[in-house]
């Protein structure tokens, strides 16, 4: 028994159901998980998204989850991913990176924009399985390791870029991609680059001001 096997944190409270026996046994966390998997009582994380059980998902024809190791914001994250799962769904509902927004889920608004190998992409219109070998950057990964805001983020604050803020993560990701490939864009080049991000509040001019300021600052 290693140190990790001894109990050092409270067990989750489970008063009923197939898991309660295992919980009551006061098994170690590792043994607990092994037992749960062995008993087949594990709820597929896709059950949350589908609103049904793992068996129902498999019965729809090949909804089998696969364990992937994704490179997200410089970290390797292990996650179970369905074949038909979009990157936006994986980021938001399995990796808890909810900074990436779902505005339309149809590739028509840009709120879900992330970077794939530094290229701006609608995460709602990409299957996670299509990008499993690539470097994914989300809004959560744009600030520095010590928490310093990226010039684009700082410029958005200084220039009052966002109004409601919902389109902002997408706008920032697009702006970051722009400045990585073209550090000194003209306002028209910035306008063209951001033409794949809608803003229902109409703060487009503010966003352009922010991008131009960020280009100056960086």
In angstroms, the first-to-last Cα distance of the chain is 52
> What is the C-alpha separation between 82 and 44, in angstroms, rounded?
10
Is 135 among the residues that bind another protein (CB under 8 A)? no
The size of the interface with another protein (CB under 8 A), counted in residues, is 38
169 binds another protein (CB under 8 A): no
**Residue 61 to residues 39, 54, 58, 84, 173: CA-CA distances in angstroms?**
24, 12, 6, 11, 35
Residue 171 binds another protein (CB under 8 A): no
Burial class of residue 162, CB neighbours in 10 A (0-12, 13-18, 19+):
buried
Selected range binding another protein among 17-25, 84-92, 159-167, 201-209, rule: CB under 8 A: 84-92
Residue number, 22 or 126, with CB nearest to another protein: 126
Q: Is 110 in the site for another protein (CB under 8 A)?
A: yes
Q: Concatenate the DSSP letters of all residues of 164-175 into one string.
A: S-SSHHHHHHHH
Instruction: Say how far apart CA 67 and CA 9 lie, in whole Å.
Output: 27
Nearer to another protein, 34 or 69 (CB): 69
Q: Is 46 helix (H, G, I), strand (E, B) or coil?
A: helix
Applying CB under 8 A, does 138 fall inside the site for another protein? no
Q: What's 129's DSSP letter? A: G
Nearer to another protein, 35 or 196 (CB): 196
Question: Binding another protein by CB under 8 A: which of 23, 29, 35, 50?
Answer: 50
Which one, 54 or 213, has the nearer CB to another protein? 54
Closest to another protein by CB, 22 vs 102, is 102
Contact positions vs another protein (CB under 8 A): 48-52, 57, 60-64, 82-86, 89, 105-108, 110, 113, 119-122, 124-127, 129-130, 174, 192-193, 195-196
């Amino acid at each position: 028994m290693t140190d990790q096997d001894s109990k050092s944190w409270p067990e989750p409270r489970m008063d009923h159901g197939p898991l309660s026996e295992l919980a009551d046994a006061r098994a170690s966390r590792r043994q607990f998980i092994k037992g749960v998997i062995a008993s087949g009582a594990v709820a597929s994380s896709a059950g949350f998204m589908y609103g049904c059980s793992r068996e129902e998902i498999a019965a729809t024809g090949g909804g089998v989850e696969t364990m992937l190791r994704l490179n997200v914001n410089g970290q390797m994250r292990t996650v179970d991913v369905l074949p038909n799962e979009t990157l936006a769904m994986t980021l938001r509902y399995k990796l808890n990176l909810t900074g990436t927004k779902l505005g339309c889920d149809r590739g028509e608004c840009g709120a879900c924009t992330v970077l794939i190998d530094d290229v701006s992409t609608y995460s709602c219109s990409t299957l996670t399985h299509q990008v499993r070998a690539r470097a994914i950057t989300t809004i959560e990964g744009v600030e520095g390791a010590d928490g310093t805001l990226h010039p684009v983020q700082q410029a958005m604050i200084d220039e009052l870029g966002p109004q409601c803020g919902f389109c902002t993560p997408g706008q920032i990701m697009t702006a970051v991609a722009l400045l990585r490939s073209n550090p000194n864009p003209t306002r028209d080049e910035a306008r063209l680059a951001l033409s794949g991000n809608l803003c229902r509040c109409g703060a487009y001019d503010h966003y352009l001001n922010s991008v131009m300021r960020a280009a100056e600052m960086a």
